[in-house]
Amino acid sequence: MMRHLIEGLAAALPGQCAVCHAWPAQPLCEACVARFAQPQPRCRRCAIPVAAGIHQCGRCLGAPPPLDACHAAVSYEFPWSALIANYKFNGQPGWARGFATLMRSAPWVEPALEEADIVVAMPLSVQRLAERGFNQALLLARALAAPKTDGRLLLRVRHTAAQAALDRQARLGNVQGAFAVDPLRATQLRGKRVVVIDDVMTSGASLFTAAEVLRQAGAGRVTALVLARTDEAH
């Protein structure tokens, strides 16, 4: 599995490793991938780190989220936090392919993609898309499963304030009513297994709200796949 990850990240021409600056190397050298991308036990419903042998965290046991499953490749920490920020805020869409390879190497991701009927990305508002120039989640989705990816089924219908400065409860309120399924195509979701792709999951507010919308439209199973997960459900 690690060999396939390195091969995928080696698609670009040699240069400096973005983490250790080794030269010549690929954007992420083999040593850094091996050091910083090791799998760890995570809650199957929200992808928060848990102790070995635990399948669901206490929060998900007490109040199951609308996601049937959620899987993350890495924790949102060094070096991934800085690389992801550069990817989506500094106009570096070329990272999508390498990040997608990183996601595919995580446990349970490949089976989820194989079983999916439809893959959707977390949508951006018109304003946010204009600021960034591309939807980072949609690029990941296309790199992961282009034939199954539908970029117009799940819609962002309301622009919201940035989530970063909000606590968990405020985040949930902030995204209420922000997502919708294209009403002319909602029947395509009935009974289908849907995978939702996003780059970073913090509290889960946006993904949970989107999953509820997909379920209301008739989706039979909703799984989230994210590149990075914060270690605490803020």
Model confidence pLDDT, tens digit, residues 17-37: 999 989 877 788 889 988 999
Share of the chain above pLDDT 70, in %: 86
Are residues 3 and 111 both part of a single domain? no
* Nearest-angstrom CA–CA distance, 53 and 145: 30
Are residues 31 and 96 both part of a single domain? no
* Nearest-angstrom CA–CA distance, 210 and 156: 9
Determine if residue 191 is left, alpha or beta; phi over 0 gives left, psi from -120 to 50 gives alpha, anything else beta. Answer: left
Share of the chain above pLDDT 90, in %: 72
* Nearest-angstrom CA–CA distance, 195 and 197: 7
Quick check: is 234 in a domain? no
Q: Which residue has the higher pLDDT, 177 or 217?
A: 217
**Residue located via tokens 């919201």:** 160
Are residues 5 and 75 both part of a single domain? no
- pLDDT, tens digit, 9 for 90 and up, residues 135-156: 999 999 999 999 999 999 999 9
Are residues 168 and 216 both part of a single domain? yes
Are residues 31 and 79 both part of a single domain? no
- pLDDT, tens digit, 9 for 90 and up, residues 163-206: 555 555 555 555 778 899 999 999 999 999 999 999 999 989 99
C-beta of residue 206 within 8 angstroms of C-beta of residue 173: no
Are residues 170 and 214 both part of a single domain? yes
pLDDT of residue 11: 47
Are residues 17 and 89 both part of a single domain? no
Are residues 44 and 147 both part of a single domain? yes
Enter the tokens of residue 198. Answer: 């996003």
Are residues 175 and 60 both part of a single domain? yes
Quick check: is 133 in a domain? yes
* Nearest-angstrom CA–CA distance, 102 and 92: 17
Are residues 74 and 107 both part of a single domain? yes
Count how many domains the chain has: 2
pLDDT of residue 234: 46
59: domain CATH number is 3.40.50
* Nearest-angstrom CA–CA distance, 147 and 22: 36
* Nearest-angstrom CA–CA distance, 74 and 96: 15
* Nearest-angstrom CA–CA distance, 179 and 185: 15
* Nearest-angstrom CA–CA distance, 41 and 47: 9
- What residues make up the domain containing 54? 39-229
CB environment 57-78: b (16+ within 10 A), e (fewer): beebeeeebbbbbbbbbbbbee
Quick check: is 219 in a domain? yes
pLDDT of residue 232: 75
* Residue 143 C-beta-side C-alpha neighbours within 13 Å: 26
Are residues 6 and 65 both part of a single domain? no
pLDDT of residue 76: 96
**Residue located via tokens 């989820």:** 112
Quick check: is 69 in a domain? yes
